[in-house]
Structure 1
């Protein structure tokens, strides 16, 4: 079963000691164990930790990247919020 996170929940996971999460579209991904594997380096992942990284992710990646790594990194989904 997939866990549901709010943006505030994800924001609390921006340091390695707390686990590092990012949001891509409606998915929440744990990136702490991916820092050394990321071809673009750990620095950008650390900068985006705790935030919605959708815009930056899609600027540099395509669907194949998410298909390759998404399943092992995904920890849940983003809770829907009311849009006024």
Structure 2
């Protein structure tokens, strides 16, 4: 299942109850079922829910983490929004 999301749609998933989506390098990841498994704790994921967390992610992780968990957590990509 791979969908296209706007940044606004991702921002609506900012809590565990709403699905807890984050953006990493234009990929959209659903973390609702991963929150309790996250080695860094649930608090940090909840803080970045609904936002682009690329900067925070790459500060603490390397590419192998995204390769390991990305396939099961990725739900789509952020689509380019028309600029008027």
TM-score computed with the length of structure 2 as normaliser: 0.94
The unaligned stretches of length 5 or more in structure 2 are none
The Cα shift of 1:25 comes to 0.4
SS in 2 for 1:17: coil
Q: Which has the higher strand share?
A: 1
Runs of 4+ in 1 over 6 A off after TM superposition: none
Distance 2:9 2:82 in 1: 17
CA RMSD in angstroms, aligned pairs only: 1.4
1:35-64 alpha-carbon deviations (Å, 9 max, x no partner): 111000000000000000000000000000
TM-score computed with the length of structure 1 as normaliser: 0.94
The Cα shift of 1:80 comes to 1.4
The unaligned stretches of length 5 or more in structure 1 are none
Q: Which has the higher helix share?
A: 1
1:41-60 aligned within 5 A: 41-60=41-60
The Cα shift of 1:19 comes to 0.7
